[in-house]
A and B are shown apart, each in its own frame.
Chain A
C-alpha cells in the first residue's frame, strides 16, 4: 500500500485504467499508423471527468489534488504510447496552466472549459528552428498595432500543432529587451497567417508535431496572458509541473515494459527451457526492477513536495534527468529479451524503444538538466555568513559558455548566479516595520514564522486575529534562515522566493507549507 495515494486515488486509477483498456489501447496501433489520434477519445475522457483534474470547478474541472494528476500520468504512461500520452500532457500541464495562473477572466472562460471537456486541444509554443535549449534566443515578434499584436516568426517541434486549436505562444513584445521582452500570447491555428507543416518523427506517431509559421498574424491584445514582459517568469514557474508529469509516466512505462517482457519470457522457449530461466536474463530483470523501484520512490517524493507547494527545481530536474534516461535503458534491454520479435512493430517493444528516445531531448534535454543541477549544486552552495562585512553576498562566476550564466533560458534554471551587490544595511527596527506593513495586509498566518538573519531575528506571530511582527527569537513553527541582503531583495521583488528557496539562498526549517505563504506576503 502506498502512503501517497488514498483509497479515492486508487478508485480513480481503476476507473481510468479500465477506460483506457477499453477505449484507447485497442485503437492505439491504428492511431500510430494513421499518424493521428481522433478527437473522440478526448471528448470521451472529458465526459468521464478524466481531464482538468486539478483545474477549478468553475471551468468544469474537479479541483482535485496533485496526486490525481500523478495517477493520470501514471496510467497514460502505461498505455505504451508516448504519442497518445503527450497530447493531454501538453494541453493540461504545459500549455493551459499558464492561462489558469496568469490569464484574464475572459481568457480563462474562453479556453479552459474546452480543454477540460475534451473539445479543445492546445500547444505550448516555445522552441524555434534557431532556438531550442537557448529559449531566450527566440525571435518571434508580436508588435502592437492598435488593439492587435502583429505576430511574425516560426516555431518548431510543437506537439498538437497540426490538429490542435490554440497555442500558448512565446513571443517578443519588446524585441530589444532580452528576457524581459518576452510575453505569452494565445494564437489559434485558424487565424489568418498561421501555416503548419507536419513533421515525420522516429516515434510518438500518434502525436502530431508541427513546424508553425506566423506571417503577419493579427492577434487581439486580449489574447495576451498576464502582463507583457513577464513571459519567461510565467514559463519558469511552470517547468517543474512539466517535468513532474513526464516522470511518473516514464516510471510506469518502465514497469509496463518489464511486465510485458516477463510475460514473453515465461512463454518463449529456447534450448529446452523458458527463457526466464537463463541466469543472465534473470539478473538483467533484477537490475532493471531495482533501478525502476528506486526511481519510483524518488518520483513520489518530488511529487509530494510539489503537492505541498514546494517548488524544488533541483529535485524536479534530477527526476526528469534520471527518469528519462532510465526509460531508454529499460526499453533497449527489454527489447533484447524479445529477440527478433523486438525489432518487429507488431510487438510492443519496438514502439516503446522509438517513443522513449525523445524523453532525454524534449522538455529540457538531459544536458540542460545537468547544467541546471550543476549550477545549483556547485555555484549555489555555501553562502557567506550575512554578518560579514558590508554585503554578505559573493559573486558566483558562472563557467558555462555564453557568458554570465545569469538568467538562463526558459528551459534553464531559475537558480541564477547572484551578482555582487551592496544592499543597504537595514536595521532590525526597519525590517520589523517593513514586514508589519505587509503582514497587516494579509490574513493571519495561523502559526508563527521566524526570519533568522544569523544573530538577529524577526518573528511573525500569526496565531491571533492578525499578524504581529517583532524582533523576538522564540521558537517558531517555521524558521527561515536568510541573509539580510537577500531578504531586502525578496521584499523589493528582485529575488523570487521560489528561486531563493531552491537555490539554497533561503533555508527553511519546520512547516514548509507556511514558508510558501511567503509568496503572497511579498508579491
Chain B
C-alpha cells in the first residue's frame, strides 16, 4: 500500500512485478534469513539456497529461456536486488551471478560457452564469479598482472586475484588476464577458469567488516592450463567488454543501496514507535522525527534517479556516467542514512542481535567496490571536460609541430 510519502515506482508496476515480489520476499524469509547466523559463522552460504533460488526462477532472470533463464527484462532483476538488500541478506550472491557473470557469458560468450555454463547457472548447479582486482591493483585495472601465456591451443595462466565475491563457493571464474603484455588496455582478455582446474587454488574467505554471509577470497593461479575455447568475447577486447558491462554493474550497487535504506528505515520506524524514554515513544521527539523525515526523503529522491536509470538500461541508453552518478550518490546516501537510523536505536544499535548493526556493517563497502566513489567522480568529471582536454591536447600537438617546423626551417 503506497503511502503519501512514497514515490510510485513505475518500473515495478505490472502485475508480473507484483507477483514476482511476493516470490522474492518468501524466498528470503523462508530460505535465507533463518540460516543467516550459520552462514555468518562459516563465512559463506549453503548450496541449497542457490538451488532453491534456481528452482523458484530467481537466477538468470534476464537470461534466455533456452538456457533455463526467465527471459525477463532487467527491472525484475532490479526488484530482486532491492528486495534482497531490504531483507539485509548479503548472501547468496545472486546479483553478482545473474547480473554480472551471466550477462558476460550470454552477450560475449561463444555458443560452446553458453551451452556449457548457462543452464547450470540458471538452475543454481553452477555458481560463477568474476576476477578483476589483484592485490596490488584495484582502481587501476589496466595494471593487472595475471598473465595468460599463449601456448597454441591453450594458455598457461599465472597470477592472483583478490576480494573476489563468491569466489570461494563458485564453480568457475571469469578472470581478466593479460594476453599481450605490450598492448596496454588492448592486451586484456576475459578467460573462464574452472575451480577444479589443476593449479587453481583459493584462499579461505576473508573476515570482513560486513557482508559476513558472502564469501570473499583470494584466487591463486599457478601454471593453470586453460583451453582456448574458454575465451569470453574477443582476444584483447577484455577491457572494452568490461566497459560495456559496467553501467549495469554500477546500477546494481545503487539498487542495493536504496533497498538497504528501505529495509533499515522500516526497522527504525517500528523501533521508534515501540521504544519509550522519558515516558513517551521516542518518535515523539522532534529530533527523531526530523531524522526519519530526512531518511525517508533521501530514499524517495534516490528512487527517482535510480528508476530512471533502470528505464534507460532497458532501452540500452544507460551511459557509464549516469550509472556512476547513481552508484556513488546512492552508496554515500546509504551509509549516511543507515548511520542515522542506527543512532535512533541507542545502545541496541550497537548490538549485533538487532538488525540495524548488520545493515551498518554491510553498507560500508558500497562506497568502495564496483569502482570506488572516487573513481566514479573521476569518470564523471572526465566526461564533462573531455572535449576541452581533447582540444587542449590537439592545440598543444599543433603548437609542437609548428615549433619543430620553425626549428627545421632555421637550420
Binding site for B on A (CB under 8 A): 127, 130-134, 137, 156-157, 199-204, 269-271, 280-281, 328, 332, 335-336, 339-340, 342-346, 350, 353-354, 357-358, 360-362, 365-367, 370, 400-403
B residues within 8 A CB of A134?
277-279
Interface residues on B, range: 35 or more
27 contacts between A and B (CB under 8 A): A127-B347, A132-B347, A133-B277, A133-B278, A134-B279, A201-B351, A202-B349, A203-B350, A269-B136, A280-B374, A336-B374, A340-B133, A340-B369, A342-B368, A343-B209, A343-B365, A344-B206, A344-B207, A345-B208, A346-B207, A354-B361, A361-B349, A365-B343, A367-B343, A400-B278, A401-B280, A401-B284
Q: Would you give the shortest CB distance from B128 to chain A, in whole angstroms?
A: 20
Asked if A360 meets B343 with Cβ closer than 8 Å, knowing A202-B361, A280-B374, the reply is yes
Among candidates B143, B346, B351, residue contacting A132 with C-beta atoms closer than 8 Å? B346
Q: Verify if B389 is at the interface (C-beta below 8 Å from A).
A: no
Q: Verify if B352 is at the interface (C-beta below 8 Å from A).
A: yes
Q: Verify if B163 is at the interface (C-beta below 8 Å from A).
A: yes
Contact, CB under 8 Å: B342 / A357: yes
Interface centre among A200, A204, A281, A328 (most CB of B within 10 A): A200
Contact, CB under 8 Å: A367 / B139: no
Q: Would you give the shortest CB distance from A212 to chain B, in whole angstroms?
A: 14
- Taken together as a complex, chains A and B put the C-alpha atoms of A201 and B356 apart, in Å, by 11
Main secondary structure of the interface of A (DSSP, over half): mixed
- Taken together as a complex, chains A and B put the C-alpha atoms of A354 and B372 apart, in Å, by 20
Q: Verify if B227 is at the interface (C-beta below 8 Å from A).
A: no
A residues within 8 A CB of B209?
343-345, 350, 353-354
Q: Nearest residue in A to B366 (C-beta to C-beta)?
A: A343
Q: Nearest residue in A to B139 (C-beta to C-beta)?
A: A270
- Taken together as a complex, chains A and B put the C-alpha atoms of A156 and B351 apart, in Å, by 11
- Taken together as a complex, chains A and B put the C-alpha atoms of A132 and B276 apart, in Å, by 10
Among candidates B210, B353, B361, residue contacting A200 with C-beta atoms closer than 8 Å? B353
Contact, CB under 8 Å: A271 / B140: yes
Q: Nearest residue in B to A211 (C-beta to C-beta)?
A: B351
Mask: chain B, 102-136; 1 = CB below 8 Å from A; 0 = not: 00000000000000000000000000000001001
Question: Which 7 interchain pairs have the tightest Cβ spacing?
Answer: A402-B278, A200-B352, A345-B207, A350-B209, A202-B357, A270-B140, A343-B365
B residues within 8 A CB of A132?
277, 346-347
B residues within 8 A CB of A400?
278
Q: Would you give the shortest CB distance from A269 to chain B, in whole angstroms?
A: 7
- Taken together as a complex, chains A and B put the C-alpha atoms of A336 and B375 apart, in Å, by 12
A residues within 8 A CB of B250?
none
Contact, CB under 8 Å: A340 / B343: no
Besides A328-B339, A402-B279, 16 other CB < 8 A contacts?
A127-B347, A130-B276, A131-B277, A201-B357, A271-B139, A336-B367, A340-B369, A344-B207, A354-B361, A357-B360, A362-B350, A365-B343, A366-B343, A370-B287, A401-B284, A401-B285
Q: Nearest residue in A to B336 (C-beta to C-beta)?
A: A332
Mask: chain B, 257-292; 1 = CB below 8 Å from A; 0 = not: 000000000000000000011111000110100000
Contact, CB under 8 Å: B346 / A361: yes
Contact, CB under 8 Å: B347 / A156: yes
B residues within 8 A CB of A344?
206-209
B residues within 8 A CB of A362?
347, 350
Interface centre among A157, A271, A361 (most CB of B within 10 A): A361
Contact, CB under 8 Å: B343 / A361: yes
A residues within 8 A CB of B208?
343-345, 350
- Taken together as a complex, chains A and B put the C-alpha atoms of A130 and B133 apart, in Å, by 48
B residues within 8 A CB of A358?
347, 350
Interface centre among B143, B342, B357, B364 (most CB of A within 10 A): B364
Q: Nearest residue in A to B209 (C-beta to C-beta)?
A: A350
Q: Would you give the shortest CB distance from A31 to chain B, in whole angstroms?
A: 15
B residues within 8 A CB of A332?
335, 364
Q: Verify if B162 is at the interface (C-beta below 8 Å from A).
A: yes
Q: Would you give the shortest CB distance from B105 to chain A, in whole angstroms?
A: 25
- Taken together as a complex, chains A and B put the C-alpha atoms of A133 and B277 apart, in Å, by 7
Q: Verify if B199 is at the interface (C-beta below 8 Å from A).
A: no
Contact, CB under 8 Å: A340 / B138: yes
Mask: chain B, 139-163; 1 = CB below 8 Å from A; 0 = not: 1100100000000000000000011
Contact, CB under 8 Å: A199 / B353: yes
A residues within 8 A CB of B361?
202, 354
Q: Would you give the shortest CB distance from B38 to chain A, in whole angstroms?
A: 15
Contact, CB under 8 Å: B343 / A202: no
A residues within 8 A CB of B343?
360-361, 365-367
Contact, CB under 8 Å: A339 / B138: yes
Contact, CB under 8 Å: A339 / B372: yes
Q: Would you give the shortest CB distance from A161 to chain B, in whole angstroms?
A: 13
Among candidates B133, B207, B284, B350, residue contacting A202 with C-beta atoms closer than 8 Å? B350
Contact, CB under 8 Å: B346 / A402: no
Among candidates B163, B349, B351, B360, residue contacting A340 with C-beta atoms closer than 8 Å? B163
- Taken together as a complex, chains A and B put the C-alpha atoms of A227 and B218 apart, in Å, by 62
Q: Would you give the shortest CB distance from A351 to chain B, in whole angstroms?
A: 8
A residues within 8 A CB of B277?
131-134, 137
A residues within 8 A CB of B346?
132-133, 361, 365
